[in-house]
A and B are shown apart, each in its own frame.
Chain A
Amino acid sequence: MAKTYPDDHTIWQLAVAHGLQPCPVIFEPVPASVLYEHAAYLIPGRMAHWSFGKQYQLLKTRYDYGLGKLYEMVVNTNPAYAFLLASNSSLENTLIRCHVMGHVDFFQANQAFSHTPKNMIDVVGHHADRIRRYEFQYGKNVVEYFLDNVLAIEEHVDWDRPARHVDRPVAIVQTTPEKPIRPGYEDLSPATRAPSKSSPSRPLPHPTFDLLGFLMTASDGLEDWQRDIIGMVREEMRYLWPQLRTKIMNEGWATYWHLRLMREISLADDDWVDFARMHASVVAPQEFQVNPYALGSRIFESIWQKGGDEALFLAREVEEDTSFLRNHLSPELVQAMHLFVAGREDQEIFVQTVDGRAVRDLLVHDLIHGGIPLISVDDGDFHHRGELLLRHHHDGSALDIRYAEEALRHVYRLWGRPVHLDTVVAERRVRLSCDQDEVTKATL
């Protein structure tokens, strides 16, 4: 007898019946090459850049050699798009459909996603179009080189203040840029008005974490198309940031729900065994890092055990990874999951402590700001010479100095005048400075 599996709609209704709030979901079974492409670009149809190609090659190669397999890729839009591997078995794709319900509900309900636009595939499509046009107009290499610099600091966009909007010159994109709209009226059209090259860089009333936004508005030497590109990257990163802040929760929630929903579906006996094996591989411990699927779903389970559905749905709505772990990762859970803090002596790695508090605190610490250094712009007219002063808000974790030096070169190319970064190295305050291609280091 042929086995039957519930279809998309049945699973969606099952999710709704259990209290999830998924928006409509479009499931697309695709070949591996397409799934990995979307996973590399994070949003389908995004701008072309070799760094995405590098990521794509990495993912695809791992898949081709059987080293790593993605099962799905969900896009936070409304309707949501979920890409599944066409080569998966029906059972696998049933589990994945349940898993996707968790993700889609999370995108809808978690507070971190409240400001994310739900038509992002269209938005990035327009961005890609504009960048293609700039490539045509200014040259592929010129645009690529500029993107190299912008993408190097893409995370520094200040996700914290969703309401603030920085104006950027969008209107400059014309289909026929050479031709003024009407001869004689050029100065009235925003497209042909002289770019704000002469605007002086101002000192900042408050430090800002929105490095890209600051460069876009305050950097003198940029052309309007360059400001536009910074704006596009900034917009895309602000859309992606909530996913960086909720990785453990998001994966944990989806895992928790594929388990719970699958239990409601009647399966043949051998399918139960296969399902159990698949689930076990998803939550298997990983070496030297914490499996977010396992950690997140275990915490959600424990929340449900203590407070039922009400506590469960509250946590998925109001928390993000840091608060989620701080509030809900109990010492008992740390013990039950065999978590520990590893440290090193000489070149060997040892278990240093299994103390619940220590484990929790280190995990939380590593997740602050998505595990990315927090850097503010403190002064846009430093030394009264229009130099740029950045500050790394040191919280105990050291920067990779070599990477910071190179990243500073990228900032220099966007700012056009000397840039400085204050940080802490071995408990001493250090300032890295970049002028032209020279990077120097001074102790303060």
Chain B
Amino acid sequence: MLPFVPDWSLQQKGPFDQRRHQAKVKEALSRQLGDLITEENIIRSQRGQTIKVPIRSLQQFKFRFDPWPSQRVGQSQAVPRVGDRLGRLPENARASDQGERASEIPGVDYVETELTFEDVEEMLFRELGLPYLENKPIARVVQPEWIFKDIARRGLMGNLDKRRSLRANILRHAREGHPGLGRWMPQDLRFKTWVPEEVPEQNAVVVAMRDISGSMGDFKKKMARLFAFWMLGFLKSQYQQVEVVFLVHHTQAREVSEQEFFELGESGGTKVSSVYELCEEVLGERYPHAYWNIYPIHFSDGDNWSDADNRRTLESIQRILTVANVLGYAEIREGGYSSTLMSQFSKLIHPRFKIVTISRSQDLYLALKTFFPRQEEGATDG
């Protein structure tokens, strides 16, 4: 009698719950997206590299003792003597001593997950979209799509339509009084063939405007840059036909290159209307709204030099809103006060005018989601 050999491969309880755990890790990560996208080492990481991210929500909290008590019994190979140095406390134990980092790395029970830059990108971009996108009738670059939708009697052998050829063969023999598949003749063959189709293009232009005046401190600069970093990454990965115009301003506005946009830091006062007027000019000359989806976004601390200019800005914004799909204003400030520009802007209620305030790095994620909300399929077609 052969011995009974159980098929242990059917025992999958552990792997099954492991997958559930991993799904929860992923979920927890998505919830931390706001923190992740401002994490410097993620942004600095090269594509293809991985970074370690501690997952807080997967700890299993219990009533437990301090995992690093002041005394502990140990055992050594050699005879121990009082005063022998045994080593340093592990990093995480020291952290919990100081209390502050304790919430992030509480000793032995945290799970560290490896993430690539692409993972973060993928999670983030899944949540974003270009709102109010419209099909513009005349594309600047016609992008024909080749679609197989026709059948021909001549063609390339690689495109042979076997099913239709078989059918033609059977039909011909039936007509000749010999039902069934018979000898092949060249006229039996059918080939798939294609026609070029013009797909309506969704052209979009983003006008990125940044305040580079003296009042923009390090935090403000960092936030504006981070926002633009993710915004550009998102636009470039998801849309083929997106152009970006970079404008900076203090008391005067000018167009700059992408690199300058990120690096420039200047001093001086602020005249916000200048950049909106330049924006209008650029749009009017190069991006007529009949052809383009238009998304202007402005970063500033709202420290405008006068109320008169605030009003002038508002007028310009109202003109832009007649052509823009969405106009965004992100005010970056550290204190709790509200700027005069913001109080002017708050009066303007318009579905396509979006305002966010970024005062902590966590707000960045919210800002991205406000400007680029993901819309349901179909809603964009309307």
Seen from chain A, the residues whose Cβ lies within 8 Å of a Cβ on chain B are 30-31, 33-34, 36-37, 40-41, 45, 48-54, 56-57, 60, 151-153, 155-156, 285-291, 294-295, 337-344, 347-354, 359, 362-363, 366, 371-373, 375, 392, 397-400, 402-404, 406-407, 409-410
Contact = CB atoms under 8 A, between A and B. Distances in A.
Given A53-B18, A366-B73, A400 B85 contact: no
A174 B74 CA distance: 53
B85 A350 contact: yes
13 contacts: A50-B21, A56-B15, A153-B62, A351-B74, A362-B73, A372-B63, A372-B64, A397-B69, A399-B63, A400-B66, A403-B62, A407-B63, A410-B61
A152 B62 contact: yes
Contact of B14 (A52, A339, A352): A52
A351 B17 contact: no
Contacts of A30: 8
Interface stretch (B75-83, B274-282, B314-322, B360-368): B75-83
B337 interface: no
Interface residues of B, number: 50
A287 B59 CA distance: 25
A234 to B, nearest CB: 15
Nearest to B84: A351
Contacts of A48: 13, 16-17, 20
A25 B21 CA distance: 34
Interface stretch (B86-94, B136-144, B226-234): B86-94
Contacts of A349: 85-89
Contacts of B20: 48, 50, 53
Contacts of B107: 400
Contact of A37 (B14, B77, B81, B102): B14
Contacts of B72: 288-289, 341-343, 362, 366
Given A50-B17, A350-B85, A338 B11 contact: no
Contact of B71 (A37, A60, A362, A371): A362
Q: Is the interface of B mostly helix, strand, loop or mixed?
A: mixed
Given A33-B15, A354-B80, A363 B63 contact: no
Q: Is the interface of A mostly helix, strand, loop or mixed?
A: mixed
Given A34-B8, A53-B18, A338-B79, A290 B74 contact: yes
A311 B302 CA distance: 84
A351 B8 CA distance: 48
B65 to A, nearest CB: 5
A402 B68 CA distance: 14
Interface centre among A339, A340, A406 (most CB of B within 10 A): A340
Contacts of B83: 350-351
A53 B12 CA distance: 11
B74 A287 contact: yes
A420 to B, nearest CB: 13
Contacts of A341: 71-74
A424 B76 CA distance: 33
A403 B60 CA distance: 9
B91 to A, nearest CB: 10
Contacts of A295: 75
Nearest to A155: B62
Contacts of B87: 348-349
Contact of A36 (B14, B67, B84): B14
B150 to A, nearest CB: 49
A287 B15 CA distance: 31
Contacts of A354: 80-82
A369 B337 CA distance: 54
Given A41-B14, A57-B21, A338 B77 contact: yes
A404 B73 CA distance: 25
A57 B18 contact: yes
Contact of A344 (B8, B65, B70, B80): B70
A339 B62 contact: no
Interface centre among B64, B74, B106 (most CB of A within 10 A): B74
Contacts of A363: 73
B77 A53 contact: no
Contacts of B82: 351-354
Interface in B94-135: 94, 102-103, 106-107, 111
Interface string B297-315: 0000000000000000000
Interface centre among B13, B82, B83 (most CB of A within 10 A): B13
